[in-house]
Amino acid sequence: MAMTPHVLIVAGSDSSGGAGMARDVETVSAFGLRSCLAVTAVTVQTHAAVEHIEQMPPELIAAQMRAAFAANPVAAVKIGMLGTAAAVQAVCSVLAANREVPVVLDPVLASTSGRVLLEDHAIDVLRRDLMPVCRLVTPNLIELATLVGTEPAKDEEGACVQGEDLLATVRTAVLVKGGHAHGGHANDVLLQPDRRAVRVEAPRVDRGMRGTGCVLSSAIAASLAQGLPLEAAVRGAKRHVLEHLRGAR
């Protein structure tokens, strides 16, 4: 067990099991790896709404991360809900001592039902301090627009322009997710510094399942932990989400 690569999941819990840490652990396990955990928040939620949130103290988040690194061969980190600027800074403090480990950030800004999950003033801290040390950031169209300070893009071309703006600011790879777009396809676009854009195509599956962003980012982190290059990790994760949706349907 100790020699099996681990993915450190830094995220909030979801009492419904539909998103957050529950989805992350499930996904990492599907890739044959083990998870270790740093809980950032405990939420009370159903599949319809987030009813209550208790944020973990920043020093407790950092302590959990340090213990996970000390106990296990952590080969990748997946970060989800953080909640506060202090939590973002706590996470950054631990990652600074573990720079060789690839980090995938799913910038969770709000729940599917619309509940704010990251303080407004924490967005600048996330963009300035955390994103530059990540291997990949995976915003959906709404999150991407918020991160660059504009309205959500109306098409893929507009989304890619916003993604390039974010890429230029944080200088780390950005996966522009098309799940919130319209049409028969849910295509994502991988943008990397000094490389051509790569479209990752998939048909749209009409299934109102929560947590697909958690599944995607965790699958990418698991693939990076197994040593795959970033583009291959993204493509494999996209296939995994598609199979997951088809199975759920």
pLDDT in tens, 110-153: 776 667 788 888 999 999 999 999 999 999 999 999 999 999 88
Q: What token pair was written down for 109?
A: 């800004």
pLDDT at 203: 73
Share of the chain above pLDDT 70, in %: 92
Q: What token pair was written down for 203?
A: 């048909």
Distance of CA 173 to the CA centre of its chain: 13
pLDDT at 249: 46
Nearest to 34 by CA among 248, 226, 230: 226
Helical H runs in 98-226?
122-125, 141-148, 156-170, 212-225
pLDDT at 246: 72
On the question of pLDDT at 181 being above 90, the answer is no
Contact between 14 and 20 (Cβ < 8 Å):
yes
When pLDDT is averaged across residues 93-119 and rounded to a whole number, the result is 87
pTM passes above 0.85: yes
Give the helix, strand, coil percentages of the chain, each rounded to 5. Answer: 40, 20, 40
On the question of pLDDT at 205 being above 90, the answer is no
Polymer length of the chain: 249
When pLDDT is averaged across residues 212-226 and rounded to a whole number, the result is 96
Contact between 101 and 77 (Cβ < 8 Å):
yes
**3-class DSSP state for residue 50?**
strand
pLDDT at 29: 96
- Pairing relationship of beta strands 188-191 and 173-176 according to DSSP bridges: antiparallel
The continuous run of DSSP H or E covering 95 comes out as helix 85-95
- Confidence bin at 170 (pLDDT 50/70/90): very high
Contact between 74 and 68 (Cβ < 8 Å):
yes
pLDDT at 248: 55
When pLDDT is averaged across residues 31-60 and rounded to a whole number, the result is 93
Nearest to 164 by CA among 183, 139, 182, 184: 139
Q: How confident is the prediction for the chain on average, in pLDDT?
A: 90
Question: How many Cα atoms occupy the beta-carbon half-sphere of 239 within 13 Å?
Answer: 8
**3-class DSSP state for residue 62?**
helix
pLDDT at 155: 87
pLDDT at 113: 63
Radius of gyration of the chain (CA): 16
Share of the chain above pLDDT 90, in %: 71
When pLDDT is averaged across residues 38-62 and rounded to a whole number, the result is 93
